[in-house]
Chains A and B, each alone.
Chain A
Amino acid sequence: MNHPSPEELAVDAGRRLAELLALGRPLTTKERLAIPVQEMPAQDPVQRRSNMHEVALGYGPEQARLEALRCLQCRNAPCVAGCPVRIDIPAFLRAAAEGEFQQAIDIIKRASLLPAVCGRVCPQEVQCQAECTVGKALKDRARAVSIGRVERFVADWERAQGHVRRPEVRPATGRKVAVVGSGPAGITVAADVRREGHQVVIFEALHKPGGVLMYGIPEFRLPKRIVRAEIEALQAMGVEVVTNFLVGRTRKLRDLLEQDGFDAVFVGSGAGLPRFMNVEGENLVGVFSSNEYLTRVNLMRAYDVQHADTPIFRARRVAVLGGGNVAMDAARCAVRLGAEEVHLLYRRTEAEMPARVEEVAHAKEEGVQFHLLQNVKRILGDEHGRVRAVEVLRYELGAPDESGRRRPVPIPGSEFVMEVDSVIVAIGNDSNPLIPRTTEGLRTDKYGHIVVDERGQTSLERVFAGGDIVLGSATVILAMGEGRRAAAAINELLRSR
């Protein structure tokens, strides 16, 4: 596929925008629908295969304004209902279309704390953009208004101005809240609770704050400087961040409440226990969870062989198992680390893949080979206990299952062998058992997820939870939504105490 260069895209957008602005009147629906979807400028696929820099380069102001002009400003705003944190999307798009970028970002920030992150990693096509009237009118969801790209632009624009507006912090209340985990849920709770004037301490088990934004999502999809900026913004608000501190082990959750003077605790420790498949050979040398592979690459920076002490397995032929964003991230990391062949195996079809459409497209452009309706039956090893191949079984789609997706049914006798030297398992996570195991009375469900009520309250008084430790493997924006809800409940509790 041939993409126009970022310069070409900007020039074309600038010309169209000037024409439309020259009309000197609001655009008609027909005119708005006639504006082509603004393509995301991207690094050339051949070049990016060997670097870790961001792939999607972001709109310039012309493309952002033009894309925002495509919004019909529907009065019923179906997009807002599709957004887990209910951003006033038509309002921010209108401001962006007028070139009022500060106003646009201010509107977003009323609802979302991490626009630069969410603009990059939200699965907009199944959230706000799924409901977009433009996409429906054009009978193509892919041609909905690119809400996320405009969001990203205004967030980046504000950062580039060098004066990112911070929420105001109310006078100190003397109340103290502990936030366990510094991922999207924890960041959200910390900011919302701190705003009310409460003291907030975030406890992070790893050496760098940011959670999945740091260890999981690769640099080429979410530059770490953006995550760092978000954490620094929290610190500037007065939030204290303590790294290398594992609640449950370094200190019990109950001790935080009963001895250390915290008035409430929010648990946002994430879905931290990789799932394996229970197939023969999964503990051979060369089989990794996507968590391990991505953590080595992202958090430990193993891609920087010159500087990093953490080694990464030198894979030549890789099989990645799974069809979500994490599988795409792992496959694309393997490409960048020099694998000759990267095969992605998924037991349903592309239509059922949970990964964002954009990530699937990027992975293909980078040479990841997709094998659909296939799954690994067992992993074969050599005499040194190292992976030499996988035995693959073919599937076909049967009747829909409880998730509404058609159930993959194995085709007996369809097994074949694919030679690989490493396998990355990206089929999701179970709940980390650490906090439930070390916190008496904290209720969990049969999957080990912490049980909460509609306010994010757990079975223990003054203990709240949200994000993947409650939801299982979900998304950044859903974790944020959960965080907002729990923060509101915590603020209410502290007001009444």
Chain B
Amino acid sequence: MERASNRIVEKRRLADEVFLMKLEAPWIAREHRAGQFVIVQLNEDYGERIPLTIADADAQQGTITLIFQTVGKTTHKLAELEPGECVQAVLGPLGRPTHVAHVGTVVCVGGGIGVAPLHPIAKAFKLAGNRVVIIIGARTSSLVILEDAMRAIGDELIVCTDDGSYGRKALVSEPLRELCLRTPRPDQVVAIGPPIMMKVCAEVTRPFGIPTIVSLNTIMVDGTGMCGGCRVTVGGATRFVCVDGPEFDGHQVDFDNMIKRLSAYRDQEQAAHERCHLELAARRAEAHRP
């Protein structure tokens, strides 16, 4: 069998802490459908396995595009890799693909790094013949990503920032509410971003009865159904994000429980993150020494 090299062919910094990386991963590129993710590991002996969303895939070229934010040790180390280098392990595509159908008007809402996984989904809904309205938001102007790519897809694009430094000063839920009040109403909403944003978006659409898909990014070890670390409560039942998701009916997800579960290892993650920054700083100081 030909092996995937996972060689990095392109790397760009999209925002302060946000990177885009294109990898040679022909198997994953060929099978990838909108809504799926990969598990990445930088060191097979001691490295952790982290889920990352696939922002784009090109079956012809055999490449996938990952967009990630440097939030912990592994993502920082990933961001240090340069084109030509290889990522040791990439497993995927994982999770069930988005159910894409022709429904009419679809509102795609992306917050922060959540815009990355939203991109292939918005594209797929557009290709399926829907009218696609896209809302993207970020804390501040420097964190807005994929604006051009999204503008190319959407029939309408609304950009918001929390601090008003770019686009509209609003949370993404505000324009979403306005769209829900319009006639005709949107037929479907897809909301991806921080858990609290998805929760708020689901609350906005609930009174209108508009089906709302959310895509969950939880703690995971294997990503194949084996560990159950990713489990969430959906409609009162326990579901696994890796094999039953990552997408669920936003009106059924117990976000409060999910948010708490995400904090299970916070102390250890923070300590590792700090150590990682210290190491980085030390390495930079070393490099600048005459």
Q: Mark B80-93, 1 if CB is under 8 A from A, else 0.
A: 00000000111111
Q: Does B233 contact A (CB under 8 A)?
A: yes
Q: Does A48 contact B (CB under 8 A)?
A: no
Task: Report the separation of the CA atoms of residues A106 and B45 in the bound assembly, to the nearest whole angstrom.
Answer: 33
Check A249 against B92 for contact (C-beta < 8 Å).
yes
Check A309 against B46 for contact (C-beta < 8 Å).
yes
Check A283 against B261 for contact (C-beta < 8 Å).
yes
Which chain A residues in 266-295 approach chain B with CB under 8 Å? 270, 272-274, 276, 278, 282-286, 288-289, 291-292, 295
User: A230: shortest Cβ distance to chain B, in Å?
Assistant: 18
Task: Report the separation of the CA atoms of residues A286 and B45 in the bound assembly, to the nearest whole angstrom.
Answer: 26
Contacts of A308 in B (CB 8 A): 46, 48
Contacts of B260 in A (CB 8 A): 284-285, 384-386
Check A311 against B268 for contact (C-beta < 8 Å).
yes
User: Given A249-B92, A283-B238, A295–B221 Cβ distance below 8 Å?
Assistant: yes
Contacts of B233 in A (CB 8 A): 283
Check A251 against B27 for contact (C-beta < 8 Å).
yes
8 Å CB contact of A292 from B89, B90, B229, B238: B229
Q: Does A164 contact B (CB under 8 A)?
A: no
8 Å CB contact of A244 from B73, B89, B231, B261: B89
Check B46 against A274 for contact (C-beta < 8 Å).
no
Task: Report the separation of the CA atoms of residues A284 and B232 in the bound assembly, to the nearest whole angstrom.
Answer: 10
Check B93 against A291 for contact (C-beta < 8 Å).
no
- Which of A186-194, A203-211, A394-402, A452-460 participates in binding chain B? A203-211
Q: Does A157 contact B (CB under 8 A)?
A: no
Check B226 against A246 for contact (C-beta < 8 Å).
no
Q: Does B94 contact A (CB under 8 A)?
A: yes
User: B138: shortest Cβ distance to chain A, in Å?
Assistant: 28
Check B41 against A207 for contact (C-beta < 8 Å).
yes
8 Å CB contact of B232 from A260, A283, A307, A311: A283
Check A385 against B261 for contact (C-beta < 8 Å).
yes
Which residue of the partner chain A has the closest CB to B6? A244
Which residue of the partner chain A has the closest CB to B264? A285
Task: Report the separation of the CA atoms of residues A307 and B227 in the bound assembly, to the nearest whole angstrom.
Answer: 22
Task: Report the separation of the CA atoms of residues A292 and B264 in the bound assembly, to the nearest whole angstrom.
Answer: 13
Q: Mark B201-238, 1 if CB is under 8 A from A, else 0.
A: 00000000000000000000110111111011100001
User: Given A384-B260, A432-B224, A244–B90 Cβ distance below 8 Å?
Assistant: yes
Most A CB within 10 A of own CB, among B45, B92, B224, B269: B224
- Which of A296-304, A320-328, A480-488 participates in binding chain B? A296-304
Which residue of the partner chain A has the closest CB to B73? A309
Q: Does B257 contact A (CB under 8 A)?
A: yes
8 Å CB contact of A309 from B4, B225, B263, B272: B272
8 Å CB contact of B31 from A206, A242, A250, A309: A250
Q: Mark B1-13, 1 if CB is under 8 A from A, else 0.
A: 1011000000000
Which residue of the partner chain B has the closest CB to A240? B1
Q: Does B49 contact A (CB under 8 A)?
A: yes
Q: Does B44 contact A (CB under 8 A)?
A: yes
Most B CB within 10 A of own CB, among A309, A386, A432: A309
Which residue of the partner chain A has the closest CB to B40? A244
Most B CB within 10 A of own CB, among A206, A251, A284, A289: A206
User: B198: shortest Cβ distance to chain A, in Å?
Assistant: 17
Check B222 against A295 for contact (C-beta < 8 Å).
yes
Q: Does A313 contact B (CB under 8 A)?
A: yes
Contacts of A296 in B (CB 8 A): 221
8 Å CB contact of B269 from A240, A251, A311: A311
Interface residues on A, range: 35 or more
Q: Does A201 contact B (CB under 8 A)?
A: yes
Q: Does B243 contact A (CB under 8 A)?
A: yes
Task: Report the separation of the CA atoms of residues A215 and B224 in the bound assembly, to the nearest whole angstrom.
Answer: 13
Q: Does A475 contact B (CB under 8 A)?
A: no
Task: Report the separation of the CA atoms of residues A284 and B221 in the bound assembly, to the nearest whole angstrom.
Answer: 18
Task: Report the separation of the CA atoms of residues A250 and B32 in the bound assembly, to the nearest whole angstrom.
Answer: 8
Q: Does A433 contact B (CB under 8 A)?
A: yes
Task: Report the separation of the CA atoms of residues A244 and B88 in the bound assembly, to the nearest whole angstrom.
Answer: 10
Task: Report the separation of the CA atoms of residues A285 and B221 in the bound assembly, to the nearest whole angstrom.
Answer: 16
Which residue of the partner chain A has the closest CB to B96? A437
Q: Does A5 contact B (CB under 8 A)?
A: no
Q: Does B28 contact A (CB under 8 A)?
A: yes
Which chain B residues in 30-51 approach chain A with CB under 8 Å? 31, 41, 43-49
Which residue of the partner chain B has the closest CB to A205? B224
Contacts of A300 in B (CB 8 A): 48-49, 221
Which residue of the partner chain A has the closest CB to B43? A309
8 Å CB contact of B228 from A206, A274, A285, A385: A274
Q: Does A370 contact B (CB under 8 A)?
A: no
Contacts of A205 in B (CB 8 A): 91, 222, 224
Contacts of A252 in B (CB 8 A): 31
Most A CB within 10 A of own CB, among B31, B92, B221: B221
Q: Mark B155-173, 1 if CB is under 8 A from A, else 0.
A: 0000000000000000000
Most A CB within 10 A of own CB, among B240, B260, B272: B260
Contacts of B243 in A (CB 8 A): 273, 432-434
Check B224 against A434 for contact (C-beta < 8 Å).
yes
Check A385 against B257 for contact (C-beta < 8 Å).
yes
Check B228 against A310 for contact (C-beta < 8 Å).
no
Check B225 against A432 for contact (C-beta < 8 Å).
yes
Contacts of B90 in A (CB 8 A): 244
List 25 contacting pairs A-B, 8 Å CB cutoff, sorted by A. Answer: A205-B224, A240-B1, A244-B4, A244-B90, A245-B91, A250-B28, A251-B31, A252-B31, A273-B240, A273-B243, A282-B238, A283-B238, A285-B260, A285-B264, A289-B227, A291-B226, A292-B228, A300-B49, A309-B47, A309-B74, A311-B48, A311-B268, A314-B268, A432-B224, A434-B243
B-binding residues in A (CB < 8 A): 201, 205-208, 215, 240, 242-246, 249-252, 260, 270, 272-274, 276, 278, 282-286, 288-289, 291-292, 295-296, 300-301, 304, 307-311, 313-314, 384-386, 432-434
* Given A308-B46, A311-B268, A434-B224, 14 more pairs with CB closer than 8 A: A206-B224, A244-B89, A250-B31, A273-B228, A273-B243, A274-B227, A276-B228, A283-B233, A283-B257, A292-B221, A295-B227, A307-B45, A313-B264, A314-B268
